[in-house]
Chain A
Amino acid sequence: MYIIVAGGGKVGSNVTRSLLEMGHEVTLIEQRPDRFARLEEEFGPVVMRGDATEISVLERAGIARPPELLLAVTGDDEDNLVISQIGKEGYGVAKAIARVNDPRNQTHFDLLGITQTICSTTSILGLVEHEVPEHGLVRLLELQKEGLEIVEVQIEKSSPAAGSRVGGLSLPGGSRIISVFRHGRTELAEPGTVMRPGDQVLAIVSNDSAPELRKALLGSRP
């Protein structure tokens, strides 16, 4: 597979190393002279010096082939967005993955059609939330294109869902209970499945209905 990596910081350089080990053909673009020199020592002609937001630089890197994958992983969100847009819209790159440095910029990526993004802050926060059961509802996976998310809810003694059958709950539209995890075992949810305190319940829910789902299962808590 041919892959262009834009940005040779910690993310870009380590990804490049792994991709090369996996046998892929890679071009890594780095603008800063000091970084470029260090990268060139390790990667040789795989590294190209230049501003990856410049169309001529991307063309020299082979954006017109086009690559099967474009990774925009500089430390600058505006740059990552522009690199991805030029690749996808200008050269028909099928798959561009962009790094979001500041999670507040996520909405801009979504708005401008760069749907595959990775944000380490958001990932870490997701892990933290997973470790904090008090939070109630944990987002495990967001399916952006579908507008759905897979969430996990821990049923407690005080939860309205405790003791109820799955079929007997009034859940918000666009949501389904997937499974119930109890004593180390997972049971796929059937209408007759009864939820008990301590159960971890997986559900799929449309983006805007998550708060309602939480309320239906756990009640209104602060």
Chain B
Amino acid sequence: MIGCGRVGSAVAKGLANEDWDITVIDENEDALLRLGPGWKGGFVVGHGMDVRVLEAAGVGDVDAAIVSTDGDNTNLVIGQVLQKRYGIGTVIARVLDPARAEFYAQRGLQTVCPTQTAISVLLETARAATAQPARAT
């Protein structure tokens, strides 16, 4: 798990509860606090662009990687490095910009775009409201 903000830490904790063996990478040591006092997984302080940090986290031997730092371009580059340099089969990068998420998804990098999810949900909600007016008169 690269990037331990609100999203990264929650996903790490969720998977750890399901007995996944998780190592978290974050630039900021304080990010460890987000994982709670009972965190039993790994934690490496450093930048995910740094291959020494990735290798210290055991990147050569993982089943899946999630890249969720606060920078879209950082996530896109790290995601591709994990795919192409380390041959990790399942790599997901979080990208807030829908256009970039789509561009890289078309090129074989799995992306998740919270902005696009919000757009879709809001559109669906609005459409459902017009189809069924809340108050009939």
Contact = CB atoms under 8 A, between A and B. Distances in A.
Given A53-B100, A107-B51, A108-B49, A78 B80 contact: no
Nearest to B80: A112
B84 interface: yes
A82 B100 CA distance: 9
B85 interface: yes
Query: Which applies to chain B's interface (DSSP): helix, strand, loop or mixed?
Result: helix
A134 interface: no
Contacts of B97: 54
Given A76-B73, A81-B73, A112-B77, 13 more contacts: A53-B100, A77-B77, A78-B49, A78-B71, A78-B73, A79-B73, A82-B77, A82-B100, A90-B103, A108-B81, A111-B80, A112-B80, A112-B81
A55 B100 contact: yes
Contacts of A53: 72-73, 100
B50 interface: yes
B107 interface: yes
14 contacts: A53-B73, A54-B97, A55-B99, A56-B99, A77-B49, A78-B76, A79-B73, A81-B77, A82-B73, A82-B76, A82-B100, A104-B50, A108-B81, A111-B81
Contacts of A78: 49, 71, 73-74, 76-77
A82 to B, nearest CB: 4
Contact of B84 (A54, A89, A90, A112): A112
A120 B96 CA distance: 31
Contacts of B76: 78, 82
A86 interface: yes
Interface string A60-99: 0000000000000000111101100010011000000000
A81 B97 CA distance: 16
Contacts of B99: 54-56
A134 B25 CA distance: 40
B99 to A, nearest CB: 4
Contacts of B74: 78
Nearest to B52: A104
Interface bracket on B: 10 to 19
Nearest to B49: A105
Contacts of A81: 73, 77
Contacts of A77: 49, 77
Interface string B47-86: 0011100000000000000000001111011001100110
A105 B80 CA distance: 13
Contacts of B85: 107, 111
Nearest to A55: B99
A175 B97 CA distance: 48
Contacts of A111: 80-81, 84-85
Interface string A173-216: 00000000000000000000000000000000000000000000
A82 B85 CA distance: 17
Interface in A24-71: 53-56
Interface string A132-151: 00000000000000000000
Contacts of A89: 107
A-B pairs with the 5 shortest C-beta distances?
A: A78-B73, A55-B99, A82-B73, A78-B77, A78-B74
A55 B77 contact: no
A82 B76 CA distance: 8
